[in-house]
Amino acid sequence: MVYFHRMKKRILTGDRPTGKLHLGHYVGSLKNRVKLQSEYDTYILIADVQALTDNFMHPEELKKNVLEVTLDYLAVGIDPKIATIFIQSQVPEIAELTVFYMNLVTLARLQRNPTVKDEMNQKGFGANVPIGFLAYPVSQAADITCVKADLVPVGADQVPMIEQTREIVRKFNELYKKVLVEPEALVGEISRLPGTDGNTKMSKSLGNVINLSDNSEAVKAKVMKMYTDPTRIHPTDPGHVEGNLLFIYHDAFNENKAEVEELKKRYTQGKVGDVEVKEKLTKSLNKFLDPIRARREKFEKDTGFVEKILAQGTQKARAEAADTLKLVKEAMQLP
Ligand code: TRP
pLDDT of residue 1: 46
Lay out the sheet containing 10-15: strands in order across. Answer: 83-87, 41-46, 10-15, 151-154, 184-187
Residue 232 CA to ligand 1 centre (angstroms): 41
**Distance in Å, CA 279 to ligand 1 centroid:** 36
- At residue 330 the predicted structure's pLDDT band, cuts being 50, 70 and 90, is very high
What CATH class has 214-295? mainly alpha
Nearest protein Cα to ligand 1, atom 6: 14
Q: Closest residue (by CA) to atom 3 of ligand 1?
A: 15
Tell me, what's the pLDDT at 3?
Answer: 53
Quick one: pLDDT band at residue 143, thresholds 50, 70, 90?
very high
Residue 6 in this model has a pLDDT that exceeds 70: no
pLDDT given for residue 190 in this prediction: 63
Q: Is the pLDDT of residue 113 over 90?
A: yes
Ligand 1 atom nearest 149 alpha carbon: 14
- Residue by residue, DSSP assigns 183-222 as -EEEE-----PPPTTS-SS--GGGT---BTT--HHHHHHH
Q: How far apart (Å, rounded) are the C-alpha atoms in residues 52 and 132?
A: 9
CA atoms of 289 and 162, how far apart (whole Å): 32
Domain 2-194+303-331 shares a fold with domain 214-295: no
What's the CATH fold of domain 2-194+303-331? Answer: Rossmann fold (3.40.50)
Would the pLDDT of 29 be above 50? yes
Q: What is the pLDDT of residue 255?
A: 96
Residue nearest to atom 10 of ligand 1 (CA): 14
pTM greater than 0.85:
yes
H/E stretch holding 172 reads helix 159-175
Per-domain boundaries in the chain: 2-194+303-331, 214-295
Give me the pLDDT at residue 20, please.
96
Burial 21-35 (b: 16+ CB within 10 A, else e): bbbbbbbbbbbbbbe
With a cut of 90, say whether residue 234 has pLDDT above it. no
Q: 59 CA to middle of ligand 1, Å?
A: 18
Instruction: Tell whether the model's pLDDT for residue 263 goes beyond 60.
Output: yes
For the ranges 104-113, 118-127, 286-295, the lowest mean pLDDT is seen at: 118-127
Q: Please report the pLDDT score of residue 4 as a whole number.
A: 56
Protein residue with least CA distance to atom 2, ligand 1: 15
Q: What is the pLDDT of residues 89-101, one digit of tens each?
A: 999 999 999 999 9
Average pLDDT over residues 177-202: 90
Average pLDDT of the chain is 94
Return the best residue to mutate from 30, 158, 204 for the ligand 1 pocket (most ligand atoms within 8 A of CB).
Answer: 158
